[in-house]
Amino acid sequence: MDSTGPVGLQPCPPDSSELVQECLQQFKVTGAQLRQIQASLLGSMEQALRGQASPAPAVRMLPTYVGSTPHGTEQGDFVVLELGAAGASLRVLWVTLTGIEGHRMESQSQEFVIPQEVMLGPGQQLFDFAARCLSEFLDALPVGNQGLKLGFNFSFPCHQTGLDRSTLISWTKGFRCSGVEGQDVVQLLQDAIERQGAYSIDVIAVVNDTVGTMMGCEREARPCEVGLVVDTGTNACYMEEARHVAVLDEDRGQACVSIEWGSFSDDGALGPVLTTFDHTLDQESLNPGAQRFEKMIGGLYLGELVRLVLAHLAQLGVLFGGCTSPALLSPGSFLLEHVAEMEEPSAGAARVHAILQDLGLSPGALDAELVQHVCAAVCMRAAQLCAAALAAILARLQHSREQQSLQIAVATGGRVFERHPRFLSVLQETVKLLAPECDVSFTPSVDGGGRGVAMVTAVAARLAAHRRLLEETLAPFRLTFEQLAAVQAQMRESMAKGLRGEASSLRMLPTYVCATPDGSERGDFLALDLGGTNFRVLLVRVATGGVQITSQFYSIPECVAQGSGRQLFDHIVDCIVDFQQKHGLSGQSLPLGFTFSFPCRQLGLDQGILLNWTKGFNASDCEGQDVVCLLREAIGRRQAVELNVVAIVNDTVGTMMSCGYEDPRCEVGLIVGTGTNACYMEELQNMAGVAGDSGHMCINMEWGAFGDDGSLGVLSTCFDASVDQASINPGKQRFEKMISGMYLGEIVRHILLHLTSLGVLFRGQQTQRLQTRDIFKTKFLSEIESDSLALRQVRAILENLGLPLTSDDALMVLEVCQAVSQRAAQLCGAGVAAVVEKIRENRGLEELTVSVGVDGTLYKLHPHFSHLLAATVHELAPRCAVTFLQSEDGSGKGAALVTAVACRLAQRAHV
């Protein structure tokens, strides 16, 4: 793009052509100049977003505290007061939103002319005038005594500190009321309404006309996230990622930012395109040196620029026979309407002559065409400059959303768009040249300053209602200290009962592991790890330099996991034989530790009776049987295989032993993964049914079943009940179903279904996808709650699940995930607090220093679980200094270490 200017017009008369072209050449803008303006404005935008004050940015980038675009279901009656959007007039509207697609708004309005003395007088006089107009309008409606919600469209540069708090920075558009700049205009209006005393009105939102334009745009296939107004003045707004707006100090959601680009005045970028007429207009204006960009684009100034050019040409003798008129020499006499009508292609010379004659001029035969040249040059430049500024917004959106291409709708509003015949087409063409990778649709806003402000008010009301419903839904998940302390006390009581052999939801199973590693263990050991649908075989070498592990995964098909016990254990032995063959171990009889991560009652280190299957396993003829015996029988069925099964180990015990190899203070094991469990070193004297009164033994708590006796009923929600009833073991493992990774995603899914039925999420539209069981994996909680993810990435995760959602939906889904995972971490913390306090009291210590070995994908992968767990333990057990250690392969390495310790102790006993 080289140079641009008026096109499609006939050449000027030869005798005046050179003078006219010289004059109009000043209004031509090259592509390079437009790109420089685009880049300069973008730089100023980003500087202001960062909160960088020096050097002062050329635009303000003011947060509007509008964080959501229309949902499509807003409904109710709203009052709007519009001030400053249409020059010297004020408008009051009554808007009814129906919430029905295609017929969403009905409105009544009345316009009031603001006297000049009010525009330039004391501020209280202006707001009292507005309150009187408001009362006069409402007097004609059947309002009664109802409380009214009002949106205030205040179209001047303001510093907003809330949706209903806004301080005027400076007057523009011919207003200069005293005592208002630096004041909260919402409070001034509220005070005036109360002085009037006629109606109960609550001003709940203050909105400029630009934001109203964006919000008043009808919902289309693509979201409308940019508002562009070219009226008396000009401005734009757009939806920015809130984390990029420094003054908000928010890391989630979106925020509508009002650019206030009318004040853009970078001399380096604008200087080359400023004409002598721009300088004259600025000097004669009410605010010389300010709003330079607006004075090249806004409707208040286009007519004045045309007037200055026509007066100049008349004085040169090129127009009107060298004659002028009082109107031509009077500022403000040429209006936007005159310019638009004269430039209208269908306007013939006779119509142009008539307009000029009404202004006291005597146009010659060729004057009409020359005047059209001037109007076209001034307005084309305005459209091109506006396009360069819009291209800066598009570039900002591409960068902040990390998108190479962008599909977006821009809502347009203002009299320049409405009345000027070619402004929008020039704008569109120029945007395509400056931002070719952006697919931009332009949608005229339907009375954005009025109905759009009503929509902002309605969205605020909808969000407030949805917020109440969300809080009510999530309230049972937000546990108090007292509730957590009660869980801790209940677990202590259940632990004591289980140890005494009394009826308890905690089995408190002896593991016959009586010592942790001391560092002298040596040798090669096999380990088996069965705790889920992936089964592992490991070779563990314990040497002076540490532990070396070689392992291989084998899958267990669902038909095997839920088939016969014989089929399951034959499959396990087949996997062991395959591993031995691949690693040159065939024929060797190495000591083997069997990690079996299901509830067992151990009768010895190598004897474990399966109490019940969990985690989706349901192999027949196993419950009530010794699983070591079942494994040995399967080994016997496979000829030429010798395996020395030394120990059966729960994965929780393996985790404790694995960490105990590194830290001798580790006396607690914790699993928080697909399932959850804990173990700890208990005093032998406290264990009924186990011989011995001195020493320690590791107790496998099987705490997933805690609460199966109903003790957790007060904390259980309807969503927990739904998940429990749909599980393969209803009524069992109630604690596990509130904590572990196998169930959290399902809890979230049921909450989302409930919120959708209330209309809070997804516009109340149920999707088949969300009704599919287990579609919402627990890993999504970890991804969604990650601090490193922007909201758009959260949206992408959910959209991949087939959930059509808005940014508001994404934020609420995030809150649901946070509530569910926080409760899980806190309940787990209450359990750990009960365990460490038990150890401290066992030993009669004022303070206990202890380490907890932890394994499990939920603990390791969730971004906040470990911190919430530790914080809860610290709060509930303040006299215990607890360190959490992540286990490295607890179920494999730990099983081998249990075996190694057993071999060491057996060898020592033999000696």
* 295 has a pLDDT exceeding 50: yes
Lowest-pLDDT range of 184-193, 393-402, 490-499: 393-402
Mark whether 551 is an active-site residue. no
Average pLDDT over residues 92-104: 75
* 102 has a pLDDT exceeding 50: no
Rg over CA atoms, the chain: 38
The pLDDT assigned to 349 comes to 77
**pLDDT bracket for residue 638 (50, 70, 90):** confident
The pLDDT assigned to 247 comes to 87
**Closest residue by Cα to residue 302 from 379, 410, 389, 205:** 379
Backbone angles phi and psi of 675, in degrees to 5: -120, -170
The pLDDT assigned to 68 comes to 87
Reported as type and span, the H/E element at residue 461 is helix 453-474
Identify which has the larger pLDDT, 344 or 658: 658
Q: Which letter does DSSP use for residue 686 in this model?
A: G
Residue 463 in tokens: 């969000």
**pLDDT bracket for residue 503 (50, 70, 90):** very high
Contact 898, 658 (CB under 8 A): no
Q: Which letter does DSSP use for residue 557 in this model?
A: -
Lowest-pLDDT range of 141-145, 504-508, 875-879: 141-145
Average pLDDT over residues 764-778: 86
CA–CA separation, 128 and 643 (whole Å): 95
Residue 692 in tokens: 């011995």
Average pLDDT over residues 496-506: 94
**pLDDT bracket for residue 75 (50, 70, 90):** confident
Residues 6+ apart with CB under 8 A from 567: 560, 619
- In b/e form, how buried is each residue of 263-280, taking b as 16+ CB within 10 angstroms? bbbbeebbeebbbebbeb
Q: Is 541 helix (H, G, I), strand (E, B) or coil?
A: strand
Burial of 712 (0-12, 13-18, 19+ CB in 10 A): buried
Q: Is 295 helix (H, G, I), strand (E, B) or coil?
A: helix
Identify which has the larger pLDDT, 381 or 776: 381
pLDDT tens figures, 120-133: 999 999 999 999 99
Residue 432 in tokens: 């395509």
CA–CA separation, 35 and 1 (whole Å): 10
* 751 has a pLDDT exceeding 90: yes
Question: For residue 63, which amino acid is it?
Answer: P
The strand pairing partners of 442, in sequence order, are 410
Average pLDDT over residues 52-62: 85
The pTM of the full predicted model, rounded to 2 decimals, is 0.78
Average pLDDT over residues 855-864: 92
The strand pairing partners of 620, in sequence order, are 564
* 266 has a pLDDT exceeding 70: yes
Mark whether 597 is an active-site residue. yes
The DSSP-derived string for 743-811 is: HHHHHHHHHHHHHHHTTSSGGG---TTTTSTT-S-HHHHHHHT-TT--HHHHHHHHHHTT----HHHHH
The pLDDT assigned to 8 comes to 37
Identify which has the larger pLDDT, 12 or 663: 663
Highest-scoring range by mean pLDDT, 107-111, 503-507, 685-689, 692-696: 503-507
Average pLDDT over residues 524-531: 89
**Closest residue by Cα to residue 782 from 865, 705, 883, 700:** 865
* 11 has a pLDDT exceeding 70: no
The pLDDT assigned to 9 comes to 39
* 118 has a pLDDT exceeding 90: yes
CA 283, 285, 288, 293 dihedral sign is negative
* 807 has a pLDDT exceeding 90: no
Burial of 294 (0-12, 13-18, 19+ CB in 10 A): buried
Burial of 403 (0-12, 13-18, 19+ CB in 10 A): middle
Indicate the average pLDDT of the chain. 89
Mark whether 178 is an active-site residue. no
Residue 372 in tokens: 């059209």
Highest-scoring range by mean pLDDT, 32-36, 230-234, 289-293: 32-36
**Closest residue by Cα to residue 201 from 162, 155, 148, 256:** 148
Contact 495, 711 (CB under 8 A): no
Length of the chain: 911
Residue 502 neighbours by CB distance under 10 Å: 10
Return the residue matching tokens 């620029």.
305
Where are any strands of DSSP class E within 375-456?
406-413, 438-444
- In b/e form, how buried is each residue of 52-89, taking b as 16+ CB within 10 angstroms? eeeeebbbbbbbbbbbbbbbebbeebbbbbbbbbbbee
CA–CA separation, 100 and 114 (whole Å): 36
**Closest residue by Cα to residue 569 from 616, 636, 644:** 636
**pLDDT bracket for residue 789 (50, 70, 90):** low
Residue 706 neighbours by CB distance under 10 Å: 31
To the nearest 10°, report the CA torsion of 10, 281, 264, 180.
-140
pLDDT tens figures, 270-280: 999 999 999 99
Contact 66, 262 (CB under 8 A): no
User: Catalytic: which of 651, 708, 720, 855?
Assistant: 651
Percent of the chain with pLDDT over 90: 56
Average pLDDT over residues 562-588: 91
Contact 378, 23 (CB under 8 A): no
CA–CA separation, 689 and 701 (whole Å): 16
The pLDDT assigned to 1 comes to 44
Contact 297, 230 (CB under 8 A): yes
Q: Is 675 helix (H, G, I), strand (E, B) or coil?
A: coil
**pLDDT bracket for residue 694 (50, 70, 90):** confident
pLDDT tens figures, 827-845: 999 999 999 999 999 999 9
CA 619, 625, 630, 631 dihedral sign is positive
* 700 has a pLDDT exceeding 70: yes
* 794 has a pLDDT exceeding 80: no
* 519 has a pLDDT exceeding 60: yes
User: Catalytic: which of 60, 536, 823, 840?
Assistant: 536
The pLDDT assigned to 191 comes to 96
User: Catalytic: which of 597, 782, 807, 866?
Assistant: 597
* 86 has a pLDDT exceeding 80: no
CA–CA separation, 701 and 507 (whole Å): 6
Residues 6+ apart with CB under 8 A from 838: 492, 495, 680, 682
